[in-house]
Amino acid sequence: ENITINTALLYLTVSDCDTGDNGYVTVELICSNSIIELEKVNNNTFILITKINFDREQKSSYSFSLYIYDHGKPNNSLKKTFDLYLIDINDCFPYFNNSINNSFIIDENNQENIIIHTFQVYDNDENDNIILYFEYKNEEEKDIFQINKQNQLIIKKSLDYEYKSFYNLTLIAQDSIGHRTSILINIYLNDLNDNPVKFHTNFIQIQIQENYLAKTFLSQIHAEDKDKNNQIIYYIHPNDLNSIKNLIELKTNGSLYTKIKFNQKQINKFQFRIIANDSLYTDIILIEILIDNNILLKPQTPYCFILNNNENIRIQFQAYKNVSFFLRNPSSSDIILFPNGTLILKSIINKYSFDIYLEENNYSAIFTNFILLIQFKCENYHFIQFYQQIIFISLICFIIFIIIIIVCSYIQHKIEKKSFEKKSNIKQSFSLSLNDIFLFSCSSPQLTPMTITSMSTHQQINNSSTLSTYIKLSHSLQDETI
């Protein structure tokens, strides 16, 4: 195979013992495809040459016929069939089955010398010996993975997801003369819950000052689990829940908040336990909340910083313990607080507010709403704040006084309206019977009875009644009937 076009395959000589036309011979090629061509060299000699590139992997053999005849009458003829076989040359590369996914997922903690997969590799060349081997990146891979003579992938050691969760290997197939084909093998490990959840300490003390607002963030409770895919749920120990359920709120992610404002005279400290659960393993930590107003942080809030230039402002916080500083709820994103207590402001605003959290191995303290003032001249902030509070309280009292006046006016108006309606009802209910009609005749011009103003009947104890009639007199008429 793989010979070039116009390569001579066969020289053919024909002869006929007769003379004249009886000895003149003609040769014709009978072939179903034009793989070869017959050319005449001289009267008795012919040559067969190739017209295509032969590839044994596409077709390994061909057939053609030669028809030979003389020109006598009658002519004599001969038909000869030839079979052409191609000799294999190692010109092909090995190849793998592309329909198979070369990514494998196994559970961690596997058995040693476990067989994962058997690879199928092919080569179109005849009787070609193909070998498989890994191209290792390091000695660790060489100690773990192996390909045997049956083309089986073997994992020789037990693998740990927490140590390494993914392996990438190069598998090479090579034939006898060095033709190589490579593929990538990906091995993923499933994470099993084989490691216990663990707190780094068994006790944490959290110090806060009294009168902090409810819903104040206290701390982020954190336990470690080497099983990275397992979710840890945090909850308060059932035996401690009733005693602190109105004081503390714990989210399932470990976030701890206050529920009330603490008064040091009523509660100065309390303890409870928190459980971390990864669905299979648990661990317990003891939490102590200490309500203490002793100042642990310098400088104290509110702090006034005198501005001398427009450069970045740097303030150094100090605490009596060797703690790390953390920032929460800043009023500006330009505030940076480093763990060593160095605070840097990248912009200049008159007033900043933020929360400072101090943390040690088993201790933390909280300072909420720290006030930082940036001014060219620092005044007594406490006096200004007190003065502002007095103005605010006075304004509230004035508003309450106005509201009281409005309410009283409204109530008085309602009372007068009801009284008027009551009198109207009394007048409308008044009526006269025939026995209540009186006739008066008076010729005096001074006084003339005109109108009955009201009439009432009084019931006495002895079931007798009395009738009282009030009469208004007028000078306007000489005679009037009432």
Q: Quote the percentage of the chain above a pLDDT of 70.
A: 84
Q: Quote the percentage of the chain above a pLDDT of 90.
A: 27
Residue among 227, 332, 333 at smallest CA distance from 280: 227
Q: Per the domain annotation, does 63 fall within a domain?
A: yes
At 3-14, the pLDDT tens digits run 888 898 888 888
Do both 104 and 158 map to the same domain?
A: yes
pLDDT of residue 482: 37
At 95-141, the pLDDT tens digits run 998 888 889 999 999 999 999 999 999 998 888 889 999 999 999 99
Do both 273 and 348 map to the same domain?
A: no
**CB-CB contact of 203 with 274 (8 Å):** no
Do both 286 and 229 map to the same domain?
A: yes
Cα end-to-end span (Å), the chain: 151
Average pLDDT over residues 257-285: 91
Average pLDDT over residues 187-202: 90
pLDDT of residue 174: 93
Do both 369 and 384 map to the same domain?
A: no
Q: Per the domain annotation, does 421 fall within a domain?
A: no
pLDDT of residue 208: 87
Take residue 471 and report the two structure tokens written for it: 């009469």
Mean pLDDT in the chain? 82
**CB-CB contact of 101 with 47 (8 Å):** no
pLDDT of residue 431: 45
Number of folded domains that form the chain: 6
Average pLDDT over residues 422-434: 53
More confident residue, 453 or 417: 417
Q: Per the domain annotation, does 195 fall within a domain?
A: no
pLDDT of residue 451: 44
**CB-CB contact of 354 with 370 (8 Å):** yes
Do both 100 and 145 map to the same domain?
A: yes
Q: How confident is the model at residue 381 (pLDDT cuts 50, 70, 90)?
A: low
Task: Report the b/e string of 69-85 with b at 16+ CB within 10 A.
Answer: bbeeeeeeeeeeeeebe
Of 358, 378, 398, which closes a domain?
378
pLDDT of residue 160: 92
Q: Which residues contact 130 (CB under 8 A, 6 or more apart)?
A: 94, 121, 123, 173, 174, 175
pLDDT of residue 437: 43
pLDDT of residue 426: 57
**CATH value at residue 15:** 2.60.40.60
Beta strands in 441-482 (DSSP E): 448-459, 465-474
pLDDT of residue 300: 81
Average pLDDT over residues 163-191: 92
Residue among 22, 130, 15 at smallest CA distance from 72: 22
Do both 307 and 319 map to the same domain?
A: yes
Q: Has this prediction a pTM greater than 0.85? A: no
Q: Per the domain annotation, does 36 fall within a domain?
A: yes
- Least confident range from 38-47, 248-257, 386-395: namely 386-395
Of 190, 217, 245, which closes a domain?
190
Take residue 14 and report the two structure tokens written for it: 């024909």
Amino acid type, 249: E
Residue 434 has pLDDT above 50, yes or no: no
Residue 429 has pLDDT above 70, yes or no: no
Q: Per the domain annotation, does 459 fall within a domain?
A: yes
Domain limits at 438?
434-474
How many other C-beta atoms are found inside a 10 Å radius of the C-beta of residue 272? 20
Q: Per the domain annotation, does 196 fall within a domain?
A: no
pLDDT of residue 107: 93
Amino acid type, 394: S
At 227-238, the pLDDT tens digits run 877 789 999 999
Do both 181 and 101 map to the same domain?
A: yes
Do both 265 and 311 map to the same domain?
A: no
Do both 100 and 179 map to the same domain?
A: yes
Q: Per the domain annotation, does 170 fall within a domain?
A: yes
**CB-CB contact of 181 with 135 (8 Å):** no
- Least confident range from 73-82, 119-128, 453-462: namely 453-462
Average pLDDT over residues 49-66: 89
Q: How confident is the model at residue 20 (pLDDT cuts 50, 70, 90)?
A: confident
More confident residue, 263 or 181: 181
**CB-CB contact of 464 with 481 (8 Å):** no
Q: Per the domain annotation, does 427 fall within a domain?
A: no
Residue 61 has pLDDT above 70, yes or no: yes
